[in-house]
Structure formats: structure tokens, C-alpha cells
Structure 1
Amino acid sequence: MNSVELLAPAKDLQAAMAAVDYGADAVYIGGAMFGARHAAANSVEQIARVADYAHRYGVRVHATLNTLIYDHELEAAEKQARELIAAGIDALIVQDMAFRRMDLPVELHASTQVCNMTPENARFLGDSGFARVILERALSLEEIRAICAATTAGVECFIHGAICVGYSGRCFLSRSMSERSGNRGACSQPCRQTYDLTDGRGRTYIAGKHLLSVRDLNLSARVGELLDAGVRSFKIEGRLKDLNYIKNVVAYYRRAVDEALAAREQLYRSSVGESIPDFTPDPAKSFTRGESEYFFSGRRTAVASFDTPKAVGEYVGRVARIDKNRFYLDRAYPISPGDGVCFLSSRGLVGSNVNAVEGACVTPNRMEGITPGAEVYRNYDHRFNLQIERSRVRRVIPASALVGASADGVSFRYTDCEGVTSEASRSRQLEPAKNPEANAAALRTQAMKSGDTIFAVHDAEVRGAQWFVPVSLAAGLRREGLEGLLQTRMRRKIEHRVLPEGSAVYPSETLSAEENVTNRLAEAFYRDHGVQRIERGLDPAPSTAGRCVMRSTYCIRREIGQCLKERPQIKGDLYLEHGAHVYRLEFDCARCEMSLTDCTRTTINQKP
């Protein structure tokens, strides 16, 4: 596979169009049901409009049907899938193996919620008819390389945005606290809440910190390495993000991917069209909890953000001193009235808007919580965001024109950068031109006008300039020729890999409750592929008490400098407590993995 895709999130039609305009090769979007983001649902009619717009540029549309399905929902889930296929989508992103059993005429992608972490699992999915596997975010480059080498499926990885601290699709933390389940599209994001780290017996080591909140991902500097490893789709997280985020981040990664492709002649973009932003993209100026490469280079510390799960933005400086209505920074920084700033102080995170700036002196609209020594961050750049809001980027497909005139008529032939052609012609008696050079120049100018079409005609050749072509005739043929070129492009089919299920053997003979088998079709799928023992999925269970509700490569002990590999002498159990909810931390050092087990205070107090 030599085509490379930049995959962007889309909350709705407007976001999808922005993603396409600013350079995405594909977009992923949720339908009305069974998507992992309930707040980003769209009607079939909206999805059809997205597909119509995207396909003009060869941009693919991937629909997310990535929640668990229960038996009574199977019919509705299949109906939704077929409606989305009829609307023109190019792939379905799924978690539940039931979709593999529905004989759907569409490309299937195994969602990151299938917990794609090993070469064995990725090989099985490829051999079972999945055209693509979407990787877990916690993998290192070496692990990614091994997976790419093992599977016939295409490999997609996240490159930017929020990180689920628990393994995707194997996290039941939200479900353990309420009826809301991440595997059912309604995660309450408990990983962004505050916790106390305790011994479970009344001693608190760390109080009121966001101990499970990790920084956001930014692998923009690693695109080339990922390409060389075999990754062919780069995914930006953010189906709930605003338009400014989409425009800024997509434009930024479009440039990063193009730069990497320029050094690799055997690889090429999977869509076409030039998008030249009228601002300088900078992902640090959009929502981010701080940049991290997570575990791309191996297990490491400093990936969490204990103080806040919110976007703090760019570091500005420290508060040197305060007056009644203003504060002074320890250095001058180019912030402006209208900016948003926040402060990390002993009171936690507080924020304010900026009313006035004079050198290092800043007048906010309120002073509550601002203390000397507090770190200052700009989490909203007013001028930058205004620039993005006013941005009007057009994505255009390069094309050339050939105008041919003779005594018997004239034709306008257009060819785009992919070799797609369209011709408009008229049979008509033409008069000799009084000034052939002027006639040629006028025809060339007319042929290169593209108006509000998706094309940019960069050059035009004129043959037969000795025959005069009236401007009105030339303009009509230009419009007809460019419209014909668009329609010809739209009639082309985007290549799909609709693959048979095959008879591959699953890497294990058993499936635990964490594997999320919640319906009869998924169960039949695994049994037909060699699984002997299947424990019913944990998600529909009445309680998670006593069960593992999260596994993660992230480790609190490592993050606070108490890695048991490095300091095996450390003894004692650790617990996370949030209100009435208590979780015992367990550490599998051989696998370098942390897990949370749901337990009650009574259970803890009964420990010997």
C-alpha cells in the first residue's frame, strides 16, 4: 500500500467540509446511532452530503459504528450500517464483531476499541477480512513496526489529540461509576477527575490530583518514522472539537505529512487538491492539555497532567507581583486584549480574560486566585482565533486546458492532475481572426478562469487561434467543460477493499469479560475462529465490583518516581479514591502494565 491518508475528525457537515477544505484525505464521522460519541451524531442525509462533497477530491468518508451492540439492537445496527453505505460512505469503523457477520458491502476497519496492540491480533484481523486496523495509542515505534510487518490489513494510528489512558474498548471505569459507558458512546471521562492516592487504610499520599489525566498526543515530528514503519493512515482525534481546531490542526498536519512524503517518492497522497492556509497553523494554539509523544519512544515519565485536565495553552511566564487590578509578569510576552489566560497556583487552575496590556503589565477582568509566583499560560489567542474564523481556504484541483478552434467549431478540453478529462465543443462556422495573437490571449485567459469551481487551471494551450471565438461562446464552453470535469470525477469509484471473512484462527482459545462479547453474532464469530471459552462481556453486567475496570501502559508508580522495576524494595498496596469509589492499583511489571480493580471500602477494610 503506497497511498497515505491524513484522517480528520468531523462532528457534523460543517466540520467535515472544513476538514476537506484544509487538506484531509479522509474524514470520520458518526451516524445517528451506535457511534462512540453521542454528542456527534448525524442523520443519513447529512452523511450523504458529506460524501458528495468529499468525493469530489477523492476524499474518503469513514462512518463510526464503534459501540458494543446488544442482541436486541442487532437489527437496528445492521439497518443503520446499510443506510450509511447507501449514503456513500467508504468504510465502517467498528468495535463489535457482529458487523463482520452482516455481509455488508463495505470496507471494515477494526476500531482502536478492539484494542489492537499485538502483531498476532492484527494478523488475525487482517486475515478475517478487516481492511484496516486502528492502533491503540500507547504503542511504541518498535511495537508499531512489528504490527505493520505482521498484517495484511492497512495500519492506522493516532497522531494528534486526546489519549484514553486505559486501553480503548477495555475500559469500564465510567461504567463502574454510573450507567454511562464509554463502550456505549457515553463515557463520563472519569479519568479526568481528581483522585486521592492512598494505602486503603486511611493514609493519603497524594490528595485531590488528576492522577489518571494524561497529556495530549503530538507525533508531528514522527511522521517519517511512522511511514517507514508501515503506517498508512494518520488519525487526528477530536470529533467534539470546534471548527477552529479542525482548520488549524488539519492544516498543520497536512504540511507535516506532505513534507514526509516529499522525501519518499514511492508514497503518495490518497486524495488530490491544493489547500493553502491563509494563516500559520500552530496546534499549540488550539485545545491541548500539553504536548506529549506518550510512549512512542518507550515507557517514560512526565506524560500526565496532575494539576488540571483542561487546556492550559502556551506558557507566558510567572506573576512577579500584583496590584489591586493588575499583575506584572516576570517578562514581557506578546499577549493582547481579548486573550484568555490561566494560572497554576496553590489554589489550582483559575482563569481570566485580558482587558489591557502594557509591556509586562497585564490588566485582567478579574484578579481572583492570581498570586505572586503563579505560572501564567495563554489558553486563548484572540487574534489567532479571529484569523482562523475569517479564513476562507479553497481546496482546488490543478488542471490544464486545451482550446482547439477551426473553421467548423471550437472545443475546450480540460485535464486534471489525475488525468481525468472532459471536453465541451460546438460545431459552428467561425470567422478568421483579425488579430490571432489577441484572440489566442483572450481564449487562454477565458480557459484559465475557474470561478467558484473546485479546479485551478494553471495553464492553457490554444490551437487554431487564427479562427475568432466570441467571448460568450468561450465562456459557455469553459463552464460546460469544468462542470463536465467535475461530473466525470464524481462518477469515478473510490477503491474499496471489501474482503471475505476467511477461516483464520484467533490467537487465544479463551475470551475474558474484558473482550466485550455482548451479542450472539459476535460470539458466533469468535467460536467459528477457534475460541472455546467466552465469558460474557463486562459492560452489560449489573456490577463491576471486584473486577478489573481499566488496564493501561500508563503507570502511576512510574509517574511519581516509584517504578517497582527500579525500586523493588517498595512495598504496600495503593488505591485510588474518588468520593465513594475506590480502586485497587495492581502492577504487572513483566508486561509494564497497571490495572484498576473496582472494590468497596468494606472490602478494603476486611483485608487482613
Structure 2
Amino acid sequence: MVTIRPLELLAPAKNREFGIAAVNHGADAVYIGAAGFSARAAAGNEVGEIEKLAAYAHFYRAKIYIALNTILFDHELDDVQKLIRQLWDAGADALIIQDLGILELDLPPIPLFASTQLDNRSVSRVRFLESAGFERVILAREMSLKAIEDIRQNTTVDLEAFVHGALCAGYSGCCYFSAAIGKRSANRGECGQPCRLPWTLSNGSGHVLEKDRFLLSLKDMNRSDYLHDLVLTGITSFKIEGRLKDIAYVKNITAYYRKKLDAVMTGSSGYRAASSGTTKLFFKPDPLKTFNRGETDYFLLGRKGDIHSPDTPKSMGEQIGCVDHMDLRYFTLKAGHDLYNGDGLCFMDRSGKLRGFLVNRTDQDKIFPAGYPDLKKSGLFPGAVMYRNHDHHFQKKLSTNSSERKIALDLTFFETQKGFILQGVDEDGNTAKTVIEMEKIEAKDEGGALTTLKKQLGRMGDSRFYLRRFSASSKPYFILTKELNRIRRECLETLTQKRQADYSRKSAKPRPDIEQVPEKYLDFTANVSNQKAVEFYQKRGVKIIDPAFELNRPGLGTVVMTLRHCVLKAQGQCRRDVKTRLEMWQDPLFLENKTGRFLLLFDCSICEMRIRIV
């Protein structure tokens, strides 16, 4: 017997509106933050809003996961315990957590997923989390296909991987940079994004190697061409980053990956979507049309190509051409264009500064920017590479009804002794029957009666169903149109109620017996910030546990960020590649801006860079 594996497209949601949009554009599951304890503090939601979203998603058998992925303090644990129970009662399907102290609380039977904030990048780590009772592990973004495959072969827990969106420069859960320079902890959902700031790179002699550049700002992840490879390594959930992105991004990127994942399932046997329904799009998804810093597969196939965006941390969008000619109020491009009034354009001026403007109007090949009576003062120059970071027509399409998602329905109309029955069976096997008891009057126009029957019963209107098949096992009779409409409405209403009532959540599996760990000492990077987390580790044999960075800030010499990204590699000075190092690139090297000065350390044996407080 062939096992059919469900593949899940997991989309972000800032709030209920965004979550419904994600479901409508093809998401099999949505992750959303609860108020107060989410790694995106600005994207929290009240329980009532989550309950409404869950009811909507469950109609399509899509799931709702709650991101409660911050470390917690002792005074918060009682409130968190109450919140988790409220979320379970509201219909949440699983909880994404970072703080292992949660496993020591009195929890409802809600499945637990290990957040990527738990630094999940080795076989031993994933085994440990599986032994603790997690039912899914969200892997570190930096992992290669080979590393993912190694984990799959040595564990049985469900594996989730990021496939699209913004990238943190450092390993998730191991970054204290924001907390060190601004007391805004990433592990508390308050990251100030120091990796998106400009930095000056200098050596020990004070020689400036790069000045005011975005040396830690990475491009965005795009693994849409490698979904099948990820499936083959054992990934079953494909995650889109973006709980702080706008709704156009959620619609566009969810729809884009829905089409990509469907293509994988169409071309391979043994897979199915993890939820129900068919999504119809009224636009063509394009990841370059919404927020985009450039694209990288980010170490999936090893270290290759540029992964950082040193010129700007902002969205550049799609490249549309190079400036050919400039006049006082307009310019032309070397190639044709499809620009319209209201489009947003941007470019790097000669000094390397990002500039931009809106298109006021176009006249054939001439493009007239808004707000510049003299283009010479705009910073634009012949040869400048022009990008469109706001496509007005595309955004307008997404601001309206850009998709619909409906459940397949088979209708059968047949005759009984006293009248007729309309039976509906949806794609998940839910059944509804509606009865008409009436005197049977044979139709004078049998062809017309049959046409009317199919037409009236097949009208799905604004319902969340579409007619897949219709059959009639009755000879044509004359039936009033209003009666046909009535039984169709009743059938659809009954099916809707059944789908909503019959959704079955999976409860958490029994937790395995506690296993001892080899580590007897944990430093601050274990992120232990409450007594319950201490108890969790003590039960597993750990003797000495340092408090989290947020409770007891370590001093000079502390490594505040560990990265796979390397400024030496980015500058063409990789010590594995360059045989003879120039003196200016000798250690020590420093990053500096108004927030402070930090030492760079390079471990070339494992291709890692570290940032240390000095």
C-alpha cells in the first residue's frame, strides 16, 4: 500500500485579516502570534481574533499554529499557562515555542513545535528535542540539503524548513547583538535589527576598509526552485517568513508557492496537499513584485554566490533596465518598459545612496518622474540601473478580490416514492441530504426541464463550494425554480455546518520518558530565563546552568552573534581562497558605528564568523 504524504504550505499572518488572505491564496496552515509572547512583538493577537481565524481555516482543513516563541520570565509563567489553555479552547492546532520551561507547565493536549529560535541545526539537537516531546522541529535556515537529509535519516520527528523571506544574519536564538547595543532582545521578540544598520569595517591600525555599508544585511531567501529537493530530504512543511510584511506580500508569496508546491505534487506520486479545497487566482504571482531585497537559496546547496545586500537593507524590487538618456524632466531606458503612473522606482546614485521617485506619467519611451522639475537634481545619471519597487497595477489587483478557495462538491438528484432527494458529498466525504415531498408532474419539455434542473442546482453563488460533478437519476419532472433553489441552499448550509462541526484536531502524543543529556553545564546561550526551564534541564542531568543574557548580561569578550555569513568572503578575502593575505586584511578586524565597536573573529575550519564585545 502506497503511503500518501501530506505536504504543508505554511504562511505568516500579522492578524486575522492576513490569516484569512493566506488561506484564500492557498495556505495549508497559518502561523500567527498571540498577544505578549511572540518573537514578533508587534504582531500579537487577542484570543478572540485567533478563534475566528481558526474557524475560518478549519473549514478548509487548514491549521492554525500559534507563535509563542520567546523566552519567558518567572512572573510571566502563570499568564502564559492560562493563555495556552485559552488558545487550545479557541481552536489552535499547535504551539511554536522557544522556552523549554513551557514543557514543565500544566498544559492542555496541544502539540508542541520547536521554534527555529532553539537553534536546530544538528542531528543531536533535533534528537534531543524529539526526546523532549516535540512533534515538529523547525530547522535553522542555514542548513544544507545534505545536513537536512542527515537529520531526517537519524530522527522521526516532523521537519519544517523556511523557503522564503527575510534572513537573520546570525543563527536564530543565538543572537544577542540587539540586546547588547540597545537592550532590545531578539529572544524576547524585540530585535532592533542591528544587521540592517550601516557599519564601518576597519583593521587594528584604524585603516577603513569599508565605510558606512550594510555589511551584515542579507538578501531574502527564495528556495522556490528547490521544493522537490526539500521534499526528497524529508521536509513536509514549507514555511514563508513575514509576519510583519504587508497583506500584498502575504497574498503574492503564498499564491506563488501554492503553484510551485502543486507542481511538485503533480509531477510526483505519493504526495497531497495538507488541506482541502482548490484555489483560483485572479493575478499572476511574482515574488519580485512585493517586498524583495534580492534572492538567495542561502547555503541550501553550500556556500555560493553573494548572499548579502551591502548597498541597502530596503526592498529594491525588480530590475527594469538602465538609464539611456536624460532630459530636464524625463528619462528613457535602454530597453522597453511597462511602467505606468504611480509606479515606484529606485536606483543607487553615484555615491552609492539609494534614491527613488514615483512615475508621474509616461509618453511612449519617455518616463516623467513626480517631484523633479530638474532631473539633474535627482541624483539620476545615464547608466544608472533602475528598479521598480512598487508596481501600482499589481498592487491594485491585490487590493481587490485576488483569489477564491472552494471545496469540491458532487451533487446527485434522485427520485423517491414521495418526491425527490438532493444529496451532496464534498471532497472530504461529508454528506448532506435535502428532501422535497411533492406531487410529481411530468415535464412537457424534458430537455428544458433537465437543463433547468442542472442550472438551478449547480448554482453555488457565494458559497465556499464549487460543483465538481452533477448526476440525476430521475426522469425530468416539472419542479418550481424556487423549490430547486431552496433544496440547494439547504444542502449547502447543512454541508457548511457539518464541515465546521466535524473538524478534528490532533491532540499531543504522550511524551517520551525523560532522557539524560551528556552536558552538565550550560552557559547563557541556553537562554534559560525562568525556574521552570531550570527544572527542565535539571531533570535531564544538567548540574550548572547560567542565566540567560537578558537576566545577567555578560561583559567584555562576549560573543553576541555567530554567523555563516562572512565579511571576508563578501569582500573577496576568504582565507580559504586567498593564498597571500594583504596586510590591511590581517587580524584584528572591527565593525563600528554609533552603537559601538565590535571585534570580528573567524573560524575558517567551519566557515563561521563571530562578533564579540570589546
- The separation in 2 between residues aligned to 1:329 and 1:7, in whole angstroms, is 39
Name the aligned partner's letter for residue 256 of structure 2: Y
Change (3 A) 1:497 1:469: same
Corresponding position of 2:593: 578
Secondary structure at the residue paired with 2:27?
coil
CA distance in 2, matches of 1:355, 1:475: 51
Shift of 1:580: 4.3
* DSSP-derived class of the 1:354 partner: strand
**Residues of 1 paired with 2:518 and 2:23: CA distance?**
39
CA distance in 1, matches of 2:176, 2:184: 10
Q: Distance in 2 between matches of 1:429 and 1:98?
A: 69
Match of 2:575 in 1: 564
1:330, 1:470 → 2: CA distance?
A: 66
Once residues 197 and 19 of structure 1 are traced to their aligned partners in structure 2, the CA distance between those partners, rounded to angstroms, is: 41
Matched residues in 2 for 1:564 and 1:508: separation?
33
Deviations, residues 527-580 of structure 1 (Å, cap 9, x unaligned): 222333322111222455431111111111111111122236533211110114
1:390 alignment partner in structure 2:
400
Q: Do 1:11 and 1:40's aligned partners in 2 also have CA atoms closer than 8 Å?
A: yes
Paired positions, count: 599
- Residue type of the alignment partner of 1:64: A
What pairs up with 1:442-591 in 2 under 5 angstroms?
A: 442-496=452-506, 498-502=508-512, 503-506=514-517, 508-542=519-553, 545-567=556-578, 569-570=580-581, 571-591=586-606
**How far is 1:474 from its partner?**
2.1
Letter in 2 for 1:55: H
Distance in 2, matches of 1:545 and 1:231, equals: 40
Sort the Cα spacing of 1:108 and 1:202 in 2 relative to 1 into closer, same or farther, 3 A. Answer: same
- TM-score normalised by L of structure 2: 0.94
Q: Which of these residues, 98, 106, 126, is aligned with residue 101 of structure 2?
A: 98
User: CA 1:374 to 1:432, structure 2 compared with 1: closer, same or farther past 3 Å?
Assistant: closer
Match 1:109 to one of 113, 118, 123: 113
| Structure 1 residues 132 and 229: CA distance shift in structure 2, 3 A | same
Q: AA paired with 1:159?
A: V
Shift of the 580–275 alpha-carbon distance from structure 1 to 2, 3 Å rule, reads closer
- In the TM superposition, residue 200 of structure 1 has moved relative to its aligned partner by 4.2
Deviation at 1:16, TM superposition (A): 0.7
- After TM superposition, the structure 1 = structure 2 runs for residues 217-232 of structure 1, keeping only pairs within 5 Å, are 217-232=221-236
Q: 1:123 aligns with which of 124, 127, 137?
A: 127
Report matched runs for 1:418-429 at 5 Å. Answer: 418-429=428-439
Q: Which residue of 2 aligns with 1:355?
A: 360
* Aligned amino acid, residue 297 of structure 1: L
SS of 1:306's equivalent in the other structure is coil
Question: Aligned equivalents of 1:42 and 1:247: distance in 2?
Answer: 20
Deviation at 1:23, TM superposition (A): 0.5
Q: CA deviation at 1:113?
A: 0.5
For residue 522 of structure 1, give the secondary structure of its aligned residue in structure 2. helix
Whether the 8 Å contact between 1:120 and 1:150 is mirrored in structure 2 is no
Find the counterpart in structure 2 of residue 251 from structure 1: 255
User: Secondary structure of 1:239's match?
Assistant: coil
Structure 1 equivalent of residue 348 of structure 2: 344
The answer to whether residue 56 in structure 2 is matched with residue 41 in structure 1 is no
What amino acid does structure 2 have at the position aligned with 1:591? I
Residue 370 of structure 1 aligns to a residue whose secondary structure is: coil
The aligned counterpart of 1:240 is 244
Shift of 1:387: 1.9
TM-superposed deviation, 1:42 = 1.0
Q: Cα offset for 1:337?
A: 2.0
Partner of 2:191: 187
Query: Which of these residues, 50, 66, 69, is aligned with residue 66 of structure 1?
Result: 69
SS at match of 1:387: helix
Tell me the distance in 2 between the aligned counterparts of 1:252 and 1:584. 41
Which residue pairs with 1:28 in the alignment? Answer: 31
Q: Between the two proteins, what is the percent identity of the paired residues?
A: 37
Give the letter for the 1:483 counterpart: E
Q: CA deviation at 1:467?
A: 4.6
Q: Distance in 1 between matches of 2:301 and 2:543?
A: 37
Distance 1:187 1:130, change over 3 A: same
- Which segment is superposed worse, 141-150 or 500-509? 500-509
8 Å Cα contact 2:97-2:115 kept in structure 1? yes
Contact residue 278 and residue 406 of structure 2 kept, 8 A:
yes
Please give the alpha-carbon distance, in whole angstroms, between the structure 2 residues aligned to 1:141 and 1:495.
31
Equivalent position SS for 1:585: strand
Letter in 2 for 1:464: S
Q: Quote the residue 1:598 is aligned against.
A: 613
- Which of these residues, 144, 147, 160, is aligned with residue 143 of structure 1? 147
Query: Which segments of 5 or more consecutive residues in structure 1 lack a partner in the other structure?
Result: 600-608
Partner AA of 1:52 in structure 2 = A
Structure 2 SS opposite 1:169: coil
In the alignment, does 2:55 pair up with 1:52?
yes
Verify the 8 A CA contact 1:585 1:597 in the aligned structure 2: yes
For 1:543 and 1:329, locate their aligned partners in 2 and report how far apart those are by CA, in whole Å: 54
Q: Does 1:19 align with 2:30?
A: no
Return the alpha-carbon distance in structure 1 between the equivalents of residues 63 and 308 of structure 2.
34
Question: CA shift at 1:140, angstroms?
Answer: 0.8
Moved more, 563-572 or 287-296: 563-572
Q: Point out where structure 2 has 5 or more consecutive residues left out of the alignment.
A: none
Contact 2:418 2:438 in 1 (8 A): yes
In structure 2, do the counterparts of structure 1 residues 64 and 449 end up closer, same or farther at CA, with 3 Å as the change threshold? same
Matches of 1:442 and 1:398, distance apart in 2? 21
| Whole-Å separation in 2 of the counterparts to 1:315 and 1:507 | 52
Preserved CA contact (<8 Å) 1:411 1:423 = yes
Describe the SS at the equivalent of 2:399. Answer: helix
1:2 maps to which residue?
5
Alpha carbons of structure 1 residues 580 and 481: separation in structure 2 relative to 1, 3 Å: closer
Residue identity opposite 1:589 in structure 2: C
Q: C-alpha distance in 2, partners of 1:104/1:122? A: 24
CA deviations over 1:386-412 (Å, ceiling 9, x no partner): 122233422001111011223402211
In the alignment, is the contact (CA less than 8 A) between 2:59 and 2:503 conserved in 1? Answer: no
Give the structure 1 partner of residue 213 of structure 2. Answer: 209
Deviation at 1:428, TM superposition (A): 4.0
Structure 2 letter corresponding to 1:398: A
- 1:276 — aligned with what? 280
Identify which range, 205-214 or 543-552, moves more after superposition: 543-552
Report the CA distance shift for 1:529/1:264 in structure 2 as closer, same or farther (over 3 A). farther
Instruction: Give the aligned partner of residue 313 of structure 2.
Output: 309
Residues 1:84 and 2:87 are matched in the alignment: yes
Secondary structure in structure 2 of the residue aligned to 1:530? coil
SS at match of 2:245: coil
SS at match of 1:144: helix
Q: Does 1:330 align with 2:345?
A: no
SS in 1 for 2:21: helix
> Is the deviation greater in 295-304 or in 108-117?
295-304
For 1:243 and 1:580, the matched residues in 2 are separated by: 33
